[in-house]
Structure 1
Amino acid sequence: MIKMRLIRLLKGSGKYILYQVLWQWISLIMQIIIAINITGLIQEAFLDTAFESHIPRVVIVVIASVLIRTICDKLYTKASFHAGANVKRILRNCIYEKVLHLGPAYREQVHTSEIVQMAGEGVEQLEVYFSRYLSQFFYSLLAPLTLFIVVMRISMKSAVILLIAVPLIPIVIMLVMTVAKKLLSHYFDIYYGLGDSFLEKLQGMTTLKIYQADKTAADDMDRESEQFRKITMKVLMMQLNSTSVMDIVAYGGAAVGIISALLQFYKAEISLFGMLMFLFLAAEFFLPMRILGSFFHIGMNGMKASDHIFAFLDLPEQQRGSKEINDKEITISLENLSFSYDPRKTILSGIDMTIPPKSFVSIVGVSGSGKSTIAGILMGKNLKYSGSLKINNDEHSELTSKTILSHFTFVGHRSWMFAGTVRENLLMGNPNATEKEMNEALEKVNLLDFINSQDGLDTKLTSNASNLSGGQNQRLSLARALLHNTPVYIFDEATSNVDAGSEEIIMNVIHELSKTKTVILISHRLANVVNSDEIFMLKNGSIVESGLHFELMNNKGAYEKLFTEQMNLENFSKRKEISE
């Protein structure tokens, strides 16, 4: 169970595996020296030949050998630790780099929960595989050969019996492997599926509670958990049974070797020393392979974990170019742009749009008209569009993901805030931001006084800033975006689900930002887009109107109709509030 691709990928760990084998082999040599001296002393005592004069020498040799074995054990543990740490570092870095290469659209190919499980449990399985299993594999081949060379001089017959019996353990392992492969494959499929299901239900817990569907969701989780429990018990049963069989083979083989030596001693074919040597060392023939057998399930888990990791690392990446954006004056051009998730259903069709540098452009339309899809394409989340999307004179796909993300800032209605401090979350926008710059950003979104009334920039935030109001959370997201300081800002429903006061503050910041940056505002509320340099009205994935607010109102088309409906509804709501 050695996968060469895995070895090549983690070649930096090879030296630590070599060290582990070396320290184990030296420890075995010390064990042989101890056996030789003790059995020699017993024979001298039995024959009454210079027994007492050799005791001090034997004691010194045995103590020295034990000390060397102790040192070797510590060095083995140290090498094992370094091998495991190196593996975790390399593999997690590979997974992280792959996510970066896949770009913002990685979720189209793999679930986030699966990546987390691979980087967590999957890598941990391979840590044990490299830190213990591989070194034991090579040592279990070296140890029997070393012992055979030592005992063959005493009795070739018994030595050959022991050597022949050793491969019975890997034969048992191979037989178990045929059953275990399919079982472990099923195990990991259920494991990753359970992770996906758990994360989805956890994220949707509020919705489940609102519709009182949490009991049904809990029952589903119970059923999936029970399925996982059953497959886990099957895996453990397989491991336990294989261990029992390996014990029978190992100790049975040692017993056969010892019996052979005893018969030869009875027939005076070998000396007492020879018989005792076989007695002391027979088990050593099988113990390395037996320990390898106990690591067998770890090896199998490691192999299956590596299959999933390599399947992830082999996912096709965005076919992007290597060009960089070198100009802060950015012109965005969309020509005949179309996009669909499903060939049978078109999301965008024939989009033509030009966004000059430092302009304030709004994209509006009813829900499902394709507004957010355009934002996703601009940020590199939605791939496989047809037509042309140019940033200055370069096609979007010719640019690196890194240069796109360093020149475009996206603010949605659910920008995530991480558990930690306000300072830590703001520094994600700009790791080099000074305290003064962070305070200025907070002041622009009218949060500075509130934050200072708490613990300042060291104010603690819970996961997704749930200890802040929805409006405060969104304004903090906007402050972080301001610190990112990119030429282009995309706001996708950034004022939805916030109170009127926060909406006004956010829109004031957006209008101020549009004086020096390119701002693309996506909004369902048309009152927010009145002052735009150009408004694009989408319907069923196509642009049906474009122009200034007053031009679109004069056209008496889809925009005017939607704007009038919204104003009438808002005025009605205000009159109702006043009357109440």
Structure 2
Amino acid sequence: MRLIRLLKGSGKYIIYQIIWQWLSLLAQIAIVWQVTELIDAAWQKSVTNYEILTTVGIVAVGLMIRFICDRLYSRACYLASVDVKRALRDQIYKKVLWLGPSYREQIRTSEIVQMSGEGVEQLEIYFGRYLSQFFYALIAPLTLFFVVSRISLKTAIVLLVAVPLIPIVIMLVMMVAKKILGNYFDIYYGLGDSFLEKLQGMTTLKIYRADQRAVDQIDSESEQFRKITMKVLMMQLNSTSIMDIIAYGGAAAGIISSLIEFSNRNINVSGVLMCTFLAAEFFLPMRLLGNFFHIGMNGMKASDRIFAFLDLPEQKRGDKEISGEYIDISLEDVTFSYDDSREILHDISMNIDSGSLVSIVGVSGSGKSTIAGILLGKNHNYRGCIKVNGIEHQEITSKSIMNNFTMIGHNSWIFKGTVRDNLMMGNPNATESEMLEVLDKVNLRSFLEAQNGLDTKVKSNATNFSGGQKQRLALARALLHDTPVYIFDEATSNIDAESEEVIMAAITQIAKERTVILISHRLANVVNSDVVYTLRGGVIVEKGTHEELMKLKGTYENLYSEQSELENYSKGREVASI
């Protein structure tokens, strides 16, 4: 019922399917009735040409009606399945958007992919076939009972009593199937998650020669999935055999009852033939429901997963929008922890004025990236007060945050396609001259013009570019996004010195016009900051300009001196080797 409510307007297709099947059944009854009347007349040797022509006409019309109804039924099934796939995938997509950047805290990416693919496909059959067949399997036996009871009430009762044995078997199978199918989907989604993880980490697995161990693990999980699949299939085959026995046995009981009635002269030849031909029709709808039931069970389990995902708690954000070209940000006594075991941030307070360059530094694990995640809405379960232009952060819509904040990390994803495609993600309305201009700023234009310009092909995650070129392309895309606030989270890590110099020059230029929050492990990059916040253990221990912090002779000065000594030592070794 929730699925039907979710798919408003799609429930009509289920009604259409039931109507077309029921009309087809009435046409079948008319055909059987007319044919048996003709056979009865032939038995009594009183057949006329008019009766033969009438029978041929009714059979022809009946077959035509059945053909049309079958076509309309198939079309209604198709429209229902199209609707369910479109609506559910739309709901899943919207839910991911509502969950925002923090969706991965609650569900795995691989599960969303599998849910949107296989899970929705299972529901296509459930909604397109199973539901309508469920209601039709209730209507058809009652319709046939009304018809057969006019011939022989005893036979009609025998047939009707046998029909519920099939749903009883279905109910018993359901009790067993719930647990098996629950385990089936747990293993299925787990296998998908494991496979995706191994695929993404293939390079690392190769480096540490752990690829064979990963293969063995996937083999083990695949074997476990094979076994649970075989259990599901065995359950389906066994229940199908039992339903066949009941269906054929019930039809046989009805036929025997009609023959006894005929031998007792309670019905004529037409009556016994009518009961014989319609006996199977009593059980076929329920038997077909049994076939769809196994798919329906998969659909029900898939819907459990989908609805559990759609019911995940969303960020309780307001409906306010950030206005103005200049943005001031303030954090007051902000505390955050991913779980109850350990606080990542403790009573953080900082002011980020519009048009300033603010740097956040500290050793790994001190909470630098967590602050960036909170400002972007990825980490939302914080305590304290965060205001953007005087508006509480939680009161601002996710869309407004995304429109005003741009983050460039050390692993920004570059999509397969062309350079133009990736740049237009930053600004779909960007002109060619604007794209070339930002490529100039990141010193990437000459490299691309030597190839195919903006139409240079880019592989998935820019694997055909160097690390520095990839990062510069990500920066160019960010520049086109043109937001009031830019957050650079270790944007210069793991790249060559030339690219680092280019990126830092671009950041300095951006800071003249926009608010820039720079998170960097390399303190040489933050010396020109308007203010530097030094974190240690989730607490701000120092605040000031580079010169002020150096005079304090504290944490910042120690980190800066250590890095300078290490870099000078490395340069000395390079010169010596030359």
TM-score, normalization: structure 2? Answer: 0.97
Answering whether residue 124 of structure 2 is matched by residue 99 of structure 1, we say no
For 1:246-261, list aligned pairs within 5 A.
246-261=243-258
What amino acid is the match of 2:45?
D
Structure 1 contact 12–86 (Cα < 8 Å) conserved: no
Does structure 1 residue 53 correspond to structure 2 residue 50? Answer: yes
CA contact (8 A) 1:45 1:51 kept: no
Is the 2:244–2:287 contact (alpha carbons within 8 Å) kept by the matching residues of 1? yes
- Mapping of residues 105-184 of structure 1, within 5 Å: 105-184=102-181
CA distance in 2, matches of 1:25, 1:457: 61
Kindly report which structure 2 residues correspond to 1:409-424, keeping only aligned pairs within 5 A, or say none.
409-424=406-421
CA contact under 8 A between 1:488 and 1:518: conserved in structure 2?
yes
> What amino acid maps onto 2:569 in structure 1?
F
| Matches of 1:343 and 1:167, distance apart in 2 | 53
In 2, the alpha carbon distance for the partners of 1:451 and 1:158 equals 84
Percent identity, aligned pairs only, is: 67
* CA shift for structure 1 position 38: 1.8
Equivalences, count: 577
Deviation of residue 358 (structure 1)? 0.9
CA deviations 1:395-444 (Å, max 9, x no partner) are: 11121111111110111111112222323222222222233322322232
Shift of 1:57: 2.8
Kept after mapping to 2: 8 A contact 1:125/1:298: yes
Describe the SS at the equivalent of 1:345: coil
Cα offsets for 1:143-170 (capped at 9, x unmatched): 1111112221111111111111111100
- TM-score, normalised to structure 1, is 0.96
Match of 1:460 in 2: 457
Note the 1:269-288 alignment, pairs <5 A.
269-288=266-285
The offset of 1:80, in angstroms, is 0.6
1:369 to 366, 369, 373: 366
Alignment partner for residue 236 of structure 1, among 227, 233, 236? 233
Q: Is the deviation greater in 65-74 or in 232-241? A: 65-74
Aligned amino acid, residue 120 of structure 1 = G
- The one-letter amino acid of 2:280's match is A
**Which runs of structure 2 are paired with 1:214-233 in the superposition (5 Å)?**
214-233=211-230
One-letter code of the match for 2:102? A
Match of 1:469?
466
Is contact 2:38–2:47 with CA below 8 Å preserved after alignment? Answer: no
State whether residues 363 and 537 of structure 1, in contact with CA within 8 Å, keep that contact through their aligned partners in structure 2.
yes
- Residue in 2 aligned with 1:554? 551
* DSSP-derived class of the 2:358 partner: strand
Closer, same or farther in 2 for the Cα pair 1:455/1:33, shift >3 Å? farther
Matched, 1:426 2:423: yes
SS at match of 2:464: coil
1:487 to 481, 484, 489: 484
Change (3 A) 1:377 1:135: same
Instruction: Report the AA paired with residue 485 of structure 1.
Output: D
Tell me, in whole angstroms, the C-alpha distance in 2 between the residues paired with 1:435 and 1:68. Answer: 61
CA drift of 1:307 comes to 1.3
Matched, 1:531 2:522: no
Matched position secondary structure for 1:302: helix
Q: After TM superposition, give the deviation of residue 12 of structure 1 in Å.
A: 2.2
Structure 1 window deviating more from structure 2 (125-134 vs 98-107): it is 98-107
Is the deviation greater in 22-31 or in 43-52? 43-52
Structure 2 residues without counterparts, runs of 5 or longer: none
> Residues 154 and 270 of structure 1 are in contact (CA less than 8 Å); yes or no, is this contact kept in structure 2?
yes
- Of the structure 1 ranges 432-441 and 184-193, higher mean CA displacement relative to structure 2 is found in 432-441
The question of whether the paired residues in 2 share the 8 Å contact of 1:330 and 1:356 is answered with yes
Contact conserved, 2:361 with 2:368, CA < 8 A, in 1? yes
- Structure 1 distance, partners of 2:298, 2:234, is 15
Partner of 2:3: 6
Per the TM alignment, residue 87 of structure 1 is displaced from its structure 2 partner at its CA by 0.9
1:475/1:506 contact within 8 Å kept:
yes
Equivalent residue in structure 2 for 1:332, among 329, 334, 340: 329
Residues 1:351 and 2:345 aligned together: no
Does residue 449 in structure 1 map to residue 446 in structure 2? yes
Equivalent of 2:39 in 28, 39, 42: 42
Give the distance between the partners of 2:36 and 2:450, measured in 1 at CA: 80
Report SS of the residue matched to 2:41.
Answer: helix
How far residue 246 of structure 1 moved from its aligned partner, in angstroms, is 0.4
Query: What is the alpha-carbon distance in structure 2 between the residues aligned to residue 427 and residue 38 of structure 1?
Result: 70
**Paired residue secondary structure (1:59):** helix
